[in-house]
A and B are shown apart, each in its own frame.
Chain A
């Protein structure tokens, strides 16, 4: 039990359950099938986006271009199907390929030049977004095949959408990657301390490039999922991803300096953000408040993480004095 309390996701899970009970007590509409469906849709999309940012946070960097990659893939995916009559599967694979290439560019330049990933991904953000606007001239693609529309709309049973399958699988795979594979552990080691990870023989190039490739791949999947949901490919897909992509991992206890992320807590962070946004909508609160709220939640999470670190430090000190 004591062990459970120390986990990042435990407190979050508790907040989510108690919060949901409290909200549905005041507003029964919260647990209506339609609301749950909408909630799950927004969780599915943000889950992928949050994971895409989380893996970069794990290696102690940040990726500003997550949204730009998602947007570029979204319009390429729909553009290929509409303009060049490519069928769904090849278009999807090309989309994934674009995501991988974008991620590779980010990772390779970052690790080879040693320039902060922030600046590199800020530059690539503009490059990818510029390509997106240059190709589309800010016009959306509307012609989406029926199968894609169906996937984005249909429900498995009850309020559970098909769209949630891929994000759940991705979350599971990310958990396996970060907790059960040597690549994931190497990434955390690299994020924790670059020098010592190199000294024990971990290749920085490999770690950074792989992390960015996975990030690009996930951003690509996120972009295509949005296409399925919106039923069209607009150039502004991904524009609003930046804040939530950092919010969920940080609320989930990730340390931005790298070396510590928690996949389950990040997922819970996504759910918490989605519930709060949804609740604000149900209570008819101005949508701009959602943004303010998200900002405050990040700050509160940061303070809580800091406090826990401080307490842990103090406890460690007591032991070392004995």
Chain B
């Protein structure tokens, strides 16, 4: 009799974990400075935000939709926070609450319009992306907020664990656990997944699918605002261009992490820790590409190839697992 392979080994997460370990070993032995304290600390600051961005996209992909406005939304929330703290002098804790509310509100707009028009969220968030970003640039006159309270910016440059890890990473990991709990053990989390997996069946079993979709968009706005706060704290200033034009710099990590992590684009399936590992992998590869010195202009090219490779691999895995299940 064949020994049974534990289920965990077959999962996407396990494969990812192996890949992460392989890449860490590869970069440690082939490049100078990968395992230096400075590089690991820098990585932990970057990966923290990529995880958050990935999660923000993941919760919308759950509905079978997309959120193109993610970057614009996150930057708008961050700029709003800069205005609260610098211009209005509102205390940090209250400012953070306001930023999160603001992010959720922008997410609510996305969700509301998507649900009410029945149009794919792609086109809705494409429109809101330019609206949010346009208003943000107009209101801030493209000026950065650079005199933020020191306690706020100190958090972003704090070093923990013998100066290896940024507290931002702990915040992201904590968020992962909260989301995992939400989707796994709470009533509302299960309803969100049900609504994404099969809207008709969910509707028939008494779940308000529209409301669930709006919640997903609000959660996405909330997480994007968290990412915006973290980025502001890391840079030490709220800068309108910190996510690129229209917030486009966030889009690739936003899609890479959940897709590599095994989130289905058709909706109805989330993998919180897969997304986390996906973000770690992307950051590692990105960092490695710089260390190997492929030239900064070619980094984008390789990231694109990796995304393509990741989805093809995922497709192959799906194909083989479905074949196996038919045989058995």
Contacts and interface: CB of A to CB of B under 8 A. Distances in A.
A126 interface: yes
A295 B130 contact: yes
Q: What secondary structure prevails in chain A residues at the interface with B?
A: helix
B196 to A, nearest CB: 15
A292 B138 contact: yes
Nearest to B300: A130
Contact of B113 (A109, A133, A246, A299): A299
B117 interface: yes
A250 interface: yes
Interface in B222-239: none
Contacts of A257: 120
A130 B311 contact: no
B308 A127 contact: yes
A127 B120 contact: no
Given A115-B311, A122-B255, A130-B303, A291 B122 contact: no
Contact of B304 (A109, A113, A126, A138): A126
B270 to A, nearest CB: 17
Given A123-B305, A292-B134, A137 B297 contact: yes
Interface in A117-135: 118-120, 122-131, 133-134
A243 interface: yes
Contact of A133 (B124, B129, B300, B308): B300
Which of A243, A257, A291 has the largest count of B CB atoms less than 10 A from its CB?
Answer: A291
Contacts of B192: none
A130 B299 CA distance: 7
A38 interface: no
B210 interface: no
A298 B127 contact: yes
Contact of B124 (A118, A134, A302): A302
B307 interface: yes
Contacts of B138: 286, 288-289, 292
A294 B130 contact: yes
Interface residues of A, number: 44
Given A113-B315, A137-B297, A295-B134, A123 B304 contact: yes
Contact of B133 (A291, A298, A306): A291
Contacts of A122: 251-252, 255, 307
Q: What secondary structure prevails in chain B residues at the interface with A?
A: helix
B301 interface: yes
A57 to B, nearest CB: 10
Contacts of B301: 126-127, 129-131, 133-134
Nearest to A129: B300
B204 interface: no
Interface string B127-151: 1111101110110000000000000
A116 interface: yes
Interface residues of B, number: 42
Contacts of A242: 126
Nearest to B66: A118
Nearest to A122: B255
A302 B315 contact: no
Given A113-B312, A257-B120, A138 B297 contact: yes
A256 interface: yes
A168 B29 CA distance: 59
Contacts of A113: 311-312, 315
B118 A306 contact: yes
A292 B131 contact: yes
B128 to A, nearest CB: 6
Interface string A279-310: 00000001011011011101100110110000
Contacts of B117: 302-303, 306
A126 B311 contact: no
Contacts of B126: 242-243, 246, 295, 298
Nearest to A291: B134
A246 B66 contact: no
Interface string B249-291: 0011001000100000110000000000000000000000000
Nearest to B304: A126
B311 A119 contact: yes
A243 B298 contact: no
A69 to B, nearest CB: 13
A114 interface: yes
Contacts of A302: 113, 117, 119, 123-124, 127
Contacts of B124: 299, 302
Contacts of B297: 130, 133-134, 137-138
Given A124-B304, A129-B300, A298-B123, 11 more contacts: A62-B122, A116-B266, A127-B308, A130-B304, A134-B295, A257-B120, A288-B138, A292-B138, A295-B131, A298-B126, A298-B127
6 contacts: A118-B122, A239-B245, A288-B138, A294-B130, A299-B128, A306-B118
Interface of A: 62, 109, 113-116, 118-120, 122-131, 133-134, 137-138, 239, 242-243, 246, 250, 256-257, 286, 288-289, 291-292, 294-296, 298-299, 302-303, 305-306
